[in-house]
Structure 1
């Protein structure tokens, strides 16, 4: 077998890459050192009896939320990248998302679709409407964006009232103030913690598809605008009911994270997040583009379309070498 044939056989294709939809959930880490050892990636925790090591199932995780006091070695980061696991740096308890580290070997198919949809007011409006339709199940025909925002606001207020009655909560008002975190009631603490974890997982899904977290269609002005767009699709069904169910919990933040991990597995939310991102960007291509086997790198041509990279096209075009004149 010659060298060129061997390189073609070993060249990475999309089919070889881990699919984010196959990942189970997320892992929140705080005050640990994540290292690579002979058996895989593990979290090393210092205790009075010495250092304990807990194995991390890298291939089964969509993302790892790196909280305060967490350090990670380069070798461990490389393993996460090979398995398609995204690393997201977050604040205490998973609240606030600061940065995401994504694998380099990603196709730009969905990024290009996102940019095309975002760059035109008409197509951007179409994506925003599909997002509201995803939340409602359906949207009133001909409703403006302002009307859809109003419908969503009324829906959330009604949901708060319904859940407050169900759990016998006398009064609830949504409040998120990081500067006065300890003064908030258990529902607000649980909701903020659950939403932050939801943002981390959605952030991982957005990065794993190669999309830009900054190019939002409803939200704008932040590097996580698209993350907030997608996360809003699930709050009414997942994080808000979960937060109200923890109204009497002594540790609502920790319990919210634990139960949300279980919910991600039970509801199979990661495949749904991937499918919803694809659907709102391009309904016709959802579920198909991104799973096909193709070269990861190609050349753009406005007429011929994608062309294979790594090919010398010097003899295929009618060109004049300036040095030959």
Structure 2
């Protein structure tokens, strides 16, 4: 995954490069498109048609976004959210879409898929927090009594859910508990979640980092679904009327485990946006977040009939 800002992306000598100005000197940097899944183009970027053609041929997902990889809120309250451009291909797989359609139109089976998503996110959180020494050092210990109580309650309520809204309510309750746990661990006083980011009068890096990290997770989720050929509108929890709702479902698999704790830790350390982004991307790599997304979505798609 690449996030670029204040540069020009172009094709040169059969490669995709970005041109950055530094000290009146033009500096070219190569983008290894064969090993790239997502490119986010932030403030001050442009891209040539030739570069887009090569990125399309390599199957790279390209998105335009606000500064730092997150939406940019301006004085006129206009939101510049990410706009995704998917490469055109007639050869993407269809088996996963066919499997998804086997259950999606059945309310009970779609609910069952939503429950599996919720259980998978807890399995991933438990796995990451159990083996990440750095998070353990910051007090993010999955064996903590408060965490175990919250997870037990979450599992029971998830199993008893009768409709997707029940799953979303249970999810919100767990996330609220995790926010409180993270805030206490890092000494973040009076934390209150603000999805639109902090105001300029208040230094609220935890919220800014949460928004930033979440949008990076959305990039991985969108890439997973594009590669597997499953349209973003076929959500199992976030609502059938939201065009990109399945992206949110898939991103939720990793957000609590990786983005949430590091947002608070980096805020405590007064990290810059770039330092936080590097930390999150490294954590995604270390804990194979993209692999986990692929494995889980593929499994549900191929087992759609038996849900």
TM-score (norm 1): 0.73
CA drift at 1:209: 1.3
Q: 1:102 maps to what in 2?
A: 87
Q: 2:129 maps to what in 1?
A: none
SS at match of 2:267: coil
1:86–1:151: structure 2 CA closer, same or farther, 3 Å change rule? same
The CA RMSD measured in Å over matched residues stands at: 2.4
Larger Rg: 1
Given that residues 187 and 252 in structure 1 are in contact (C-alpha distance below 8 angstroms), is that contact kept between their aligned partners in structure 2?
A: no
Given that residues 198 and 207 in structure 2 are in contact (C-alpha distance below 8 angstroms), is that contact kept between their aligned partners in structure 1?
A: no
1:162 pairs with 166, 169, 181, which one? 181
CA drift at 1:155: 1.9
SS at match of 2:53: helix
CA drift at 1:245: 0.4
Task: Determine the C-alpha separation between the residues in 2 that align with 1:118 and 1:181.
Answer: 43
The answer to whether residue 139 in structure 2 is matched with residue 153 in structure 1 is no
The answer to whether residue 47 in structure 2 is matched with residue 82 in structure 1 is no
Task: Determine the C-alpha separation between the residues in 2 that align with 1:85 and 1:248.
Answer: 34
CA drift at 1:107: 2.0
Deviations 1:169-200 (A, max 9, x none): 22211112269467460100010001011111
Given that residues 97 and 301 in structure 2 are in contact (C-alpha distance below 8 angstroms), is that contact kept between their aligned partners in structure 1?
A: no
How do 1:23-42 and structure 2 match up within 5 A? 26-38=1-13, 40-42=15-17
2:263 pairs with 243, 250, 269, which one? 243
Q: 1:93 maps to what in 2?
A: 68
Uncovered stretches (5+) of structure 1, i.e. residues with no partner: 1-25, 286-325
Give the number of aligned pairs: 260
Task: Determine the C-alpha separation between the residues in 1 that align with 2:212 and 2:200.
Answer: 11
The answer to whether residue 140 in structure 2 is matched with residue 120 in structure 1 is no
SS at match of 1:34: strand
1:191 pairs with 206, 210, 232, which one? 210
Task: Determine the C-alpha separation between the residues in 2 that align with 1:253 and 1:188.
Answer: 12
1:135 pairs with 103, 118, 121, which one? 121
SS at match of 2:37: strand
The answer to whether residue 191 in structure 2 is matched with residue 172 in structure 1 is yes
Task: Determine the C-alpha separation between the residues in 1 that align with 2:116 and 2:236.
Answer: 10
Q: 2:20 maps to what in 1?
A: 45
Task: Determine the C-alpha separation between the residues in 1 that align with 2:275 and 2:54.
Answer: 29
Given that residues 28 and 64 in structure 1 are in contact (C-alpha distance below 8 angstroms), is that contact kept between their aligned partners in structure 2?
A: yes
CA drift at 1:283: 3.5
SS at match of 2:3: strand
SS at match of 1:206: helix
